[in-house]
Amino acid sequence: MDVVDNLNAVRNGELSRRAFTRSLLAAGVGLMTAPLLPRRAMASNPDEATIFTWGGYDIADFYPSYIEKNGVPPNFSIFGGTEEALTKMRGGFVVDAAHPCNAGLKRWKQSGLFQPIDTSRLSNWGDVMPELVNMAENVDDQGTWMAPFDWGGTSITYRTDLFELEGEESWDMLWDQRYGGRLGSLGSGGDAWWCGAIKAGVPFKDIATDDAFERISAVMREQRPLIRLYSDDTTTLEQALASGEMVAAMTWNSSAVALQYDEVPVKFAKPKEGQLTWVCGIMLHKDAPNVDKAYEMIDAMLSPAAGQFMIGEYGYGHSNARAFDEFDDETLVGLGLSKNPADILGAGHFMIPQDQNWESRMNETFEMIKAGF
Amino acid sequence: MADVQMSSAPSARSQRPSGLRSMLYKSETARGYLLLSPALLVMVVGMLIPFTILIAMSFWTRDGFDFDTTMSMANYQTAMDVPIYNAFLARSFWISGITTVATVLLCYPMAYYVAFHVHRNKMLWIILMTLPFWTSYLLRVFSWKVILGYEGVINSGLLGLGLIDAPLEFLLYSQTAVIITLAHAWAAFAILPMYVSLEKIDRSLLEAAADLGDGPARRFFRITLPLSIPGVISATFLIFIPTTGDYITPALVGGPNSPMIGNLIQLQFGAVNNWPMGAALSVILTLWIAAVGLVFLFVTRKSQESVV
């Protein structure tokens, strides 16, 4: 249908209003159904493994040996957050493997949707760092639940030219009254609450106590008037840091890497209290339709080649110790990583998986504080 | 089904085979329902059933991953007792109230102009006015981020003119930004109903008023405005109802002070993982909107009666 022609026809009085409305309707129906067409056209290949993962992991470079063997990358399905993913899977969405993080491990296990991983089927398993495999809740009498894949830190990215450091780098930077209204934070309690615990000096093993809730709430309330924006969207925080709208913000390492790549003078702080460390990994669905391919896919993700891509391009740590061999010390330190990843992991604070009731209570409390209560 | 029997007209030529078909020929009501059936089916499957589930769920409680399905008013009690819920509700009504007023006030002159002062290519004008709405809602929100941003169009313009020394920070990530974005996003829904009711006004009434000595202002307030009130009312409803529950706009351009009740409901179904509470909040929101709507309708009807 030629829209321009229609407009001309209306202008010249050749087309009645009714006919015009009808062609508008046709155009509308066309627009509405257009998204359905390509989706059907590129409907996922049922013979390949499907991974349910974060945006940004849906590129071929993470799956080198899988592609070598099968000619195509696995199918991707994307989520924006692990809660959303778990909700969708509990609603009946079946994939071969998913990509949660250690903080959710306990609840993901409890959902009964996953099976332990047979690590003997993974050729790269021997190089996976034991500190990551043995994180809380991961290995029990039933086996290993999550194959660790990527890890990194949550800390403060700050503008070295705009933020005047007083003494050492510290979480106090995000509570600095001098920069009220020019600080930013990740909006999800999954990061912010744990950072608040570090600031409040609450040991993570006590994080479920009432006393911990009170102390963390107090520091979060103190911080709230200083925060310009709580955002779940890292790009928003990165743009605000780049423009100088914010001078410091709580981010993941990748934000600092992205900004440094654009030559914005920023640094990813190593707070003296320690940064928050997280590990994400792959869990196998109990009804995975392509189990064999799923193992091939996980093995590919754990390979040093995938790891080098992740470290070099994303600035995140990888679980395969050999992936770090390609990089010199200077590069790794610049990324907030190290030749000896155990150092970084040991210096940081590992989230301890909590149950659903804690998660709900924490999110409720944090939302109330963000709303000003 | 007394209606069916009463309205089925006796037909002399009822030689057709009995059954569904003959019933349809005889009964006007049945024919009516048949015509309605696609819409009814969509309403029942898409609205009634989910809403019933929502109401039922709002009386449950969350128990870890699962629901405790014994009926209780616990969620409603929480919503009453914990101040955050009422504060969010009040803020949502405040933001969408201002949005509604601003949108209607800004769009009325546009609708008026097209209805009264455009004589050729009216259709084209209407299409031009709705043209921005052919792009995705998200794109429009992001374009407002570009306009209102710290280094955005307004700030760099004012800085360039030397009117301000530092970028205005209240523009983005604030309630102002949410209201501006919502007002723009819903403008088409205000223009169209108001245009339709302005267009329908009988011009001879205005001529008569002029003949009897009314000036332009009196003509407007005594004839045009009262006769266009139905359009204003439907515009108000079309904007107020959806914007109260909006959560995308505050999430994208709002700051720490602008989350609305929709954001809270979305959280209950997401991160907080308390679906029954989310369901209860949705029901409360629906009831509040219905109540506000009824009051508004009542007040406007009363005032209209007093005018006429």
CATH of the domain at A186: 3.40.190.10
Q: Show residues of chain A in contact with B169, CB under 8 Å.
A: 181, 228, 245
Q: Does residue A216 sit in the same domain as residue A78?
A: no
- Predicted confidence at residue B4, as pLDDT, reads 44
pLDDT in tens, B283-300: 999 999 999 989 988 888
Name B211's Cβ contacts closer than 8 Å, sequence gap at least 6: none
Residues of B in contact with A363 (CB under 8 A): 267, 271-273
Interchain contact, B270 vs A84, CB within 8 Å: yes
pLDDT at B287: 94
pLDDT, tens digit (0-9, with 9 covering 90-100), for A320-355: 988 988 888 888 877 777 767 677 777 788 888 888
Test B124 with A373 for CB contact under 8 angstroms: no
CA distance A97 to A286: 9
Greater pLDDT, B144 or A82: B144
Number of domains in chain B: 2
Query: How does residue A8 score in pLDDT terms, banded at 50, 70 and 90?
Result: low
- Please say whether the dihedral angle defined by the alpha carbons of residues A114, A120, A126 and A130, taken in this order, is positive or negative: positive
Map residue B44 onto helix, strand or coil. Answer: helix
Please, which residues bridge with residue A350 across strands? A277
Q: Please report whether residue B64 resides in a domain.
A: no
Distance from the Cα of B55 to chain A's closest Cα (Å) equals 19
Whether residue A188 lies within 8 A of chain B, CB to CB, comes out as yes
Last residue of a domain, one of B12, B27, B58: B58
Dump pLDDT digits (tens) for B206-217: 999 999 988 889
pLDDT, tens only, A84-112: 788 889 888 999 999 998 888 888 998 89
* Contact criterion met (CB < 8 Å) for A373 and B273: no
B16: pLDDT strictly greater than 70: no
Question: Chain B residue closest to A367 (CA)?
Answer: B264
Residue finishing a domain among B10, B27, B58: B58
Helices marked H in chain B: 2-7, 20-26, 28-43, 49-58, 74-81, 83-117, 122-130, 137-148, 153-161, 175-185, 187-199, 203-211, 216-219, 225-244, 248-253, 261-269, 275-307
Bridge partner residues of B69 (DSSP): none
Q: What is the pLDDT of residue A14?
A: 57
List residues bridging with A54 in a β-sheet.
A79
> If you average pLDDT over every residue of chain A, what do you get?
85
Q: What is d(CA A317, CA A310) in angstroms, rounded to the nearest whole number?
A: 7
Same domain, A305 and A181: no
User: What share of chain A has pLDDT > 70, as a percent?
Assistant: 88
Q: Give yes or no: residues A94 and A194 share one domain.
A: no
The type of residue at A59 is: I
The domain spanning residue B248 has which CATH number? 1.10.3720.10
| A356 min Cα distance to partner chain B (Å) | 5
A201 found inside a domain? yes
Question: Residue B233: inside a domain, yes or no?
Answer: yes
A301 half-sphere exposure, CB direction, 13 A CA radius: 28
Q: Which residues pair with A183 in a beta bridge?
A: A227, A248
Which among A319, A336, A351 is positioned nearest to A101, based on CA atoms? A351
CA distance A85 to A54: 9
Please determine, for residue B12, whether its predicted confidence score (pLDDT) is greater than 50.
no
Q: Which domain holds residue B53?
A: 2-58
B106 plus B9 within the same structural domain: no
Rounded Cα–Cα distance for residues A227 and A183 (Å): 5
Q: Nearest CA to CA, how far is A58 from chain B (Å)?
A: 23
Q: Which residues of B touch A369 (CB under 8 A)?
A: none
> For residue B34, which amino acid is it?
L
Are A277 and A346 within 8 A, CB to CB?
no
A101, A280 in Cβ contact below 8 A? yes
Q: Which whole number is the average pLDDT over A309-319?
A: 88
Whether A264 has its CB under 8 Å from any CB of chain B: the answer is no
Nearest chain B residue to A85 by CA distance is B270
Q: Do B43 and B110 lie in a common domain?
A: no
Q: Do the Cβ atoms of A87 and B270 come within 8 Å? A: yes
Helices A3-11 and B122-130 meet at what angle, rounded to 10? 140
**B253 and B170 share a domain?**
yes
CA distance A351 to chain B (A): 17
Identify whether A45 is part of a domain.
no
Please tell me whether residues B37 and B87 are part of one structural domain: no
Q: Is residue A43 part of a domain?
A: no
Q: Is residue A145 part of a domain?
A: yes
Q: Which of B160, B146, B155, B300 is nearest to B231 (CA)?
A: B300
CA distance A359 to chain B (A): 7
Closest-CA residue to A171 (of A269, A277, A246): A269
Domain check: are B126 and B230 in the same one?
yes
- Both A31 and A89 in one domain: the answer is no
Q: Note the pLDDT of residue A347.
A: 79
CA distance to partner chain A, nearest, from residue B137 (Å): 14
Query: Based on the domain organization, do A161 and A215 belong to the same domain?
Result: yes
Contacts of A80 in chain B (CB under 8 A): none
- Do A159 and A141 lie in one domain? The reply is no
- Tokens of residue A251, six digits: 């981010």
User: Among the ranges A9-13, A243-247, B101-105, B154-158, which has the highest mean pLDDT value?
Assistant: B101-105
Nearest to B124 among A10, A83, A227 (CB): A10
Same structural domain for residues A251 and A365? Answer: yes
What is the domain count for chain A? 3
Amino acid A334 reads G
* pLDDT beyond 50 at A142: yes
Shared-domain flag, residues B22 and B91: no
Q: Is residue B225 part of a domain?
A: yes
- Is 50 exceeded by the pLDDT of residue A35? no
- Cα B291 from Cα B308, distance rounded (Å): 26
Looking at the fold, whether A179 and A78 belong to one and the same domain comes out as: no
Chain A residues close to B167, C-beta within 8 Å: 245
Q: Which residues share a beta bridge with A196? A: none
Tell whether the model's pLDDT for residue A187 goes beyond 90.
no
Domain that holds residue A14: 3-38
- Give yes or no for a contact between A146 and A100, defined as CB atoms under 8 angstroms apart: yes
pLDDT of residue B55: 94
Pick among B135, B170, B273 to test the A interface (most A CBs inside 10 A):
B273
Do A134 and A242 reside in the same domain of the chain? no
pLDDT at position A49 is 92
Cα A344 to Cα A336: distance, rounded to the nearest angstrom: 8
Residue A214 CA, chain-centre distance (Å), reads 28
Tell the burial category of B122 from Cβ atoms under 10 Å away from its Cβ (0-12, 13-18, 19+): middle
Asked if B97 reaches chain A (Cβ–Cβ under 8 Å), the answer is no
CB contact under 8 A, A360 and B127: no
DSSP code string of A7-25: HHHHHTT-S-HHHHHHHHH
B202 and B80 co-located in one domain: yes
Interchain proximity A83–B270, CB inside 8 Å = yes
Residue A331 lies inside a defined structural domain of this protein = yes
Between CA A272 and CA A326 the distance in angstroms is 29
A372 vs B contacts (CB less than 8 Å) = 87, 256-257
Q: Which of B61, B65, B81, B260 to mutate: most A Cβ within 10 Å?
A: B65
Contacts of B272 in chain A (CB under 8 A): 360, 363-364, 367
B270 touches chain A (CB under 8 A): yes
**pLDDT at site B70:** 86
Tell me whether residue A190 is in a domain. yes
Q: What are the two backbone dihedrals, phi and then psi, of residue B306, each rounded to the nearest 5 degrees?
A: -70, -30
- Residue A294 pLDDT greater than 80, yes or no: yes
β pairing state of A183-186 and A227-231: parallel
